[in-house]
Amino acid sequence: MKSGHSEQAGMLSGPSPLPSPAAALRRGLLGLDGLSRYAICTSMAIMVLLVSAQVFCRYVLSESIDWADEMSRLAFVWAVFLAIPHGLKQGVHVGIDVITNRLPARLQEGLARLMLAVSGVLMVVVCYQSVLVAIEGWDELMPTVPVSAAVFYVPVMLSCGHALLHLLFMAWQGTRVWADEEDAS
Residue-wise pLDDT for 108-119, tens only, equals: 999 999 999 999
pLDDT digits (tens, 9 = 90+) for 47-99: 999 999 999 999 999 999 999 999 999 999 999 999 999 999 988 877 788 88
pLDDT in tens, 141-155: 999 999 999 999 999
| pLDDT value of residue 162 | 97
Average pLDDT, whole number, for the chain?
88
Round to whole Å and give the CA distance between 92 and 84: 10
Global confidence as pTM: 0.82
C-alpha 32/C-alpha 10 separation (Å) is 24
Q: d(Cα 46, Cα 76) in Å, to the nearest integer? A: 9
Q: Name residues whose C-beta falls within 8 Å of residue 149's C-beta, 6 or more positions apart in sequence.
A: 137, 140, 141, 142
Residue 74 CB partners (closer than 8 Å, separation 6+): 151, 152
pLDDT in tens, 60-73: 999 999 999 999 99
